[in-house]
Structure 1
Amino acid sequence: MTQITPSAPPLASARLTTALVLAMLLASLGTSIANIALPVLGTAFAAPFSAVQRVVVAYLAGLTVAAVYAGRLGDRFGLRPMLATGLLLFAAASLLCSLASQLSLLVLARLLQGIGAAFMMTLSMALMRQTSTAGRLGRSMGLMGSVSALGTALGPALGGLLLPLTGWRGLFWMPLPLAIVALLLLVALPDQPPAGRSASPRLRQVLNRVMFNTLAVNLLVAAVMMTTLVVGPFYLSQGLRLADGQAGIVMAAGPLIGMCCGVPAGRLVDRFGHRYTQRLGLTLMACGTLLLAFTGAAGGVAGYLLAIMILTPGYQLCQVANNSAVLAEVPDNQRGTVSGLLNLSRNLGLIAGASLPGALFAWATGSAVLATAGAEPVVVGMRLTFLTVGVMLTLTLLSTLRKAAGRQTIQK
């Protein structure tokens, strides 16, 4: 397998890091940049909202379904070559998106773009692990977490800026030059002597009880964060009566805090270990969600932001700790597969967070149409939703503490 080791020349390491950061940034950007263009796409193609929504869903479907397969191909044929393949597919699909003459063609191109993004997300994380020394693994995972949060946060703002200047097509050709730059950086890296390859492992050889538990926690914390993005806008606009612009500014706080917390979270993982930081992250997330549940309308914007300021760093701590713990001791021929499983659990968590708690919130408001729900039902719905996820996080935390106590008893 072609690889750049931690002892590679500084220039080669810097080029590889830049390529990996660009790949993660573009893949994350693709998840959110098209959302703002849905009304324009509906007009352009004379299609209903349910039809143009497939432009977003197709990308997420490709990103989720291809994650593990991308990792297994990376283990089989080399992480760098497969990452380059993903970048090439992403670039070609971006061009096809910008040239689409029919909505069905745009949806198909977005599906291909999502598959390319799955290679980029999965293999950039695996390669970052491969090039990191043991004492800096947390910081490396934290950097990728910060870049992922930056891409997700930047998508709506960048899309809103480009839409009046370039039309909807500009949102899809804009990533093309950056994907080409990342691809050229990978190709320009010096070749390394290929290491001995072994067959890509079967999933049952990779999955064990510890990894399964970590993936389950990964899924849960991603679902909780998506819940804030689904329920938050209704609470701010209808519960607190904020204007759309004001609600948007408040909603941007979470991704911005996440962007700033990734690397510090990684430093804590490197210093104190993944078990301690995971438990700290779960504690912060449980406190943040319970604060959202009990603050209600009385807390106002300040109460909401305080909860987000507690919740978001907790999410980054959990994510970085989980990624570091799972990838730390993985054999070379399993890093791509394990990275794919991590991304799969995260994506499934995002999907679950957008559906299950959202359904609970809608039921608790007692309104068939959320847009017409009053302030009090929305606050009640928010309280029940975050109380539920807060209890789930608390139970997960107690479970990890019980397992830690069991390990200490066995050691004694």
Structure 2
Amino acid sequence: MNDSDNDINDLAREYGSPNHRQTIQVLACCVIGFICFLGAYMRIPVLPLLASSIGASTTQIGLINAAFMLSAGVLAVPAGLLSDRVGIRPILITGLCLMSCASLLIPFSNSELLLAAVYLVFGMGLSAFTPTMMASVARAVPRSHVGRAYSWYTTAVYLAMTIGPAGGGWFGRVLGMREVFFVSGGLIILALLAVLCFLPGRGEQGHADDPAEQLPSGIFSNRRLMAALIGTLGGCFGFGMFISFLPLHARALGLNVGQIGIVFAAQALMNVVLRIPFGHLSDRVDRGLMAGVGLAVCALAVGATGLARGMVTLIACACVLGGGMGICFTALSSLVVLVMPPKQRGLGLGLYNSCIYLGMMLSSATMGMVIKRTSFTTGFVSTGVATFMMAGLFTYLYRDSMLSRKSEA
């Protein structure tokens, strides 16, 4: 086979339609991601209330969430590196084992310190699972279909995030807050069994190197990657405020656990509805423009949440936030994949997921103190302003990197 034939095969792998095996692998990833996040997100409306019931203050609840997000963020990078070297399956198995064990231990945590320690282990498991599963999806399809593949995978994930909080609120009301975590752990064990039965091991098909574009191998020299990471950090700073303190803000407004779950479900449902159409769109238009618009919408929604005074206005803010996230994060995740060399995509997705959890950790760790000294309104509005500033910084850096690429060409 000559060089011309090799080039044609490389182009076919990068830009052709997915074959039957690749489609089945993406479907398996969607099912596993759905089950795992369904179990994991049942904890969202319940954990702050459980922590409060054992005597944790608002600041301590923020720090408990921060411990989880710190471990999930910091360890995502080494998990991504390991998936590039030892394969996807072992890292997934390790992550799911840690998450299931932590979920089953949370009901027995009777102090703030012990709850934070167990939640730290949960974050370690999620740090191994999330970037590794995303790398599996990216490696399963041609380059030209990455946005669409991620739209289907993230639709499955966010559908689970839609059902999970509402299910957690319902189980919390019917069975009790502690019993929710037994259900959560059981679902994560089911995801583990699905990985063992259906996901391939070292034989995953990776992307061929893109012959049409030379990508920088250094992290800091990859300016489009740095812009995408900053955008991700800013968006998740706002989202972290929402998931950490909305339950307490809503309870102060008179909502019960079930109603809080419905607010979370509204946010995730809008996120789900927009993922597939905007995933297809991201393969055809400027991802930087999509991400910038979505980040600005997220900032507006987070700030408005602090001004909400009832269930209807909270649901409206949640829907706008979900819409913004569906637009921006579909574009950002596929952008990270496409600007990284094929053999470093696990690392790139590890950095992406680190920014997700570190952004949420920063808001959980800092905004709890702001709320304690001022009010929920001030906390949410301040977070919205900070998110909007990060959206502006992302837009500037992305546009500057694209202008530099044009001048170099």
Whether TM-score is above 0.5 comes out as yes
Among 345, 349, 358, the residue aligned to 2:359: 349
Matched, 1:316 2:321: no
2:329 partner letter? Q
Aligned equivalents of 2:158, 2:199: Cα separation in 1:
30
| Counterpart position of 1:200 | none
Among 220, 227, 246, the residue aligned to 1:213: 227
Map Cα deviations across residues 332-367 of structure 1 (whole Å, 9 max, x no partner). Answer: 43222211110111112112334556766x5xxxx9
| Counterpart position of 2:69 | 60
The correspondence of residues 37-186 of structure 1 with structure 2, limited to 5 A, is 37-40=50-53, 42=54, 47-49=55-57, 56-98=65-107, 105-186=114-195
Percent identity, aligned pairs only, is: 23
Residue pair 2:234, 2:386 contacting (<8 A) in 1 also: no
- Structure 1 pair 331/155, CA: closer, same or farther in 2 (3 Å)? same
Residue pair 1:28, 1:149 contacting (<8 A) in 2 also: no
| Counterpart position of 1:390 | 388
Aligned equivalents of 1:277, 1:98: Cα separation in 2:
41
Residue pair 2:99, 2:121 contacting (<8 A) in 1 also: yes
Aligned equivalents of 1:167, 1:304: Cα separation in 2:
25
Aligned equivalents of 1:137, 1:282: Cα separation in 2:
21
Aligned equivalents of 1:352, 1:76: Cα separation in 2:
30
Instruction: Return the structure number with greater relative CO, CA threshold 8 A, min gap 6.
Output: 2
Q: Alignment partner of 2:283: what SS?
A: helix
Matched, 1:368 2:368: no
Among 290, 293, 296, the residue aligned to 1:277: 290
- Structure 1 pair 358/258, CA: closer, same or farther in 2 (3 Å)? farther
Aligned equivalents of 1:96, 1:262: Cα separation in 2:
34
2:255 partner letter? D
- Structure 1 pair 80/402, CA: closer, same or farther in 2 (3 Å)? same
Q: Alignment partner of 1:169: what SS?
A: helix
Aligned equivalents of 1:142, 1:326: Cα separation in 2:
14
Q: Alignment partner of 1:333: what SS?
A: helix
1:346 partner letter? I
- Structure 1 pair 230/136, CA: closer, same or farther in 2 (3 Å)? same
Residue pair 2:28, 2:199 contacting (<8 A) in 1 also: no
Aligned equivalents of 2:369, 2:268: Cα separation in 1:
23
| Counterpart position of 2:267 | 254
TM superposition shift of 1:251: 6.3
Q: Which runs of 5 or more residues in structure 1 are unaligned? A: 198-203, 372-377
Aligned equivalents of 2:229, 2:276: Cα separation in 1:
21
1:254 partner letter? Q
| Counterpart position of 1:336 | 346
The correspondence of residues 236-255 of structure 1 with structure 2, limited to 5 A, is 243-244=254-255, 248=260, 253-255=266-268
Q: CA RMSD in A?
A: 4.2
Aligned equivalents of 2:307, 2:113: Cα separation in 1:
43
Residue pair 1:24, 1:144 contacting (<8 A) in 2 also: no
Q: Structure 2 length as normaliser, TM-score?
A: 0.74
